[in-house]
Amino acid sequence: MSTLQVSIYRYNPETDDAPYMQEFQVDTQGRDLMVLNVIQMIKEQDSTLAYRRSCREGVCGSDGVNMNGKNGLTCVTPISEVTKGNKLVLRPLPGLPVVRDLVVDMSMFYKQYERIQPYLQNDASEPAIERLQSPEDRDKLDGLYECILCACCSTSCPSFWWNPDKFVGPAGLLQAYRFLADSRDTATKERLSSLDDPFSVFRCRGIMNCVNVCPKGLNPTRAIGKIREMLLSNAT
């Protein structure tokens, strides 16, 4: 089967009353293309299609899309990984406002990221060269710093869908822990007290949708568990 049936979510708020699904046929010539290649071929058929992409190698995190019900980066997802038969359904990341077609407004996602103060804070006087860290302490940042902020995780998290303004979400919390775990950061207490409310961290219900979709293989649920432990030992 070399013809792929692709159904794409279309919505242009300037001209459409409501979103609709548009069907396309793509001749893959039997190749197991990346979903991004398929979208590019559709763009040749219909240049009005809007989508995001940049690096096309899983580094920039700009092309998160919902493919046959699962969030992922189109550039590193082969068709065979998401399709059963020859049908591919593409929708924008769930839970965020749609700007146009597959392009979503990420402001809410970035707001939560900004809230956790994603930068090193250290009130000790600056050393002459750099702040050193032991290899063991550096190891604690593995599995945290690799996040590319693609939002695949947060937009697959029901808790984030219901309370995107209050629950930080898996991506933001993974980064929150990245700075809590950093031996060079001295703002641990302040960071913890800004997370100690019923929403920011505790709205996570541990269903691990986030882990299931992360294209970088990261584990936000584990990081959230660590934050919860820190909050508990801080409070008791």
Partner 1 sequence: MVTNITNLGRSGVSDWLIQRASAVILALYTIFMVAFFLFHPHLDYVAWSSLFDRTWMKIFTLLALLSIAAHAWIGLWIVSTDYIKKSCVRLGVQTAVILALFAFVIWGVQVLWGA
Contact 112, 172 (CB under 8 A): yes
Residue 62 touching ligand FES (CB under 6 A): yes
Between the alpha carbon of residue 214 and those of residues 34, 185, 206, 210, the distances in Å are 17, 26, 15, 6
Cβ proximity to ligand SF4, 36 vs 218, nearer residue: 218
Q: Using CA atoms, how far apart are residues 106 and 213, in angstroms rounded to an integer?
A: 18
Torsion of CA 93, 77, 16, 21, to 10 degrees: -110
Residue 196 touching partner 1 (CB under 8 A): yes
Residue 9 binding partner per list partner 1, ligand FES, ligand SF4, none, with a CB distance cut-off of 5 to 8 Å that depends on partner kind: none
Q: Using CA atoms, how far apart are residues 96 and 171, in angstroms rounded to an integer?
A: 15
Q: Which stretch binds partner 1 (CB under 8 A): 45-53, 128-136, 155-163, 212-220?
A: 155-163
Q: Residue 9 forms beta bridges with which residues?
A: 21
Residue 65 touching partner 1 (CB under 8 A): no
Number of residues that bind ligand FES (CB under 6 A): 12
Q: Which stretch binds partner 1 (CB under 8 A): 2-10, 98-106, 118-126, 199-207?
A: 199-207
Applying CB under 8 A, which of residues 19, 202, 208, 226 lies at the interface with partner 1? 202
Structure tokens of 114?
A: 């900004």
Q: Residue 73 forms beta bridges with which residues?
A: 64
Contact 45, 24 (CB under 8 A): yes
Residue 78 touching ligand FES (CB under 6 A): no
Edge-to-edge strands, sheet with 70-73: 20-27, 3-10, 87-91, 64-67, 70-73
Residues 90-129 as x/- pattern, contact with ligand SF4 by CB under 6 A: ----------------------------------------
Residue 198 touching partner 1 (CB under 8 A): yes
Applying CB under 6 A, which of residues 49, 73, 149, 213 lies at the interface with ligand FES? 73
Q: Which residues bind ligand SF4 (CB under 6 A)?
A: 147-153, 157, 159, 170-171, 174, 204-210, 213-214, 216, 218, 220-221, 224
Q: Which residues bind ligand FES (CB under 6 A)?
A: 53-56, 58-63, 73, 75
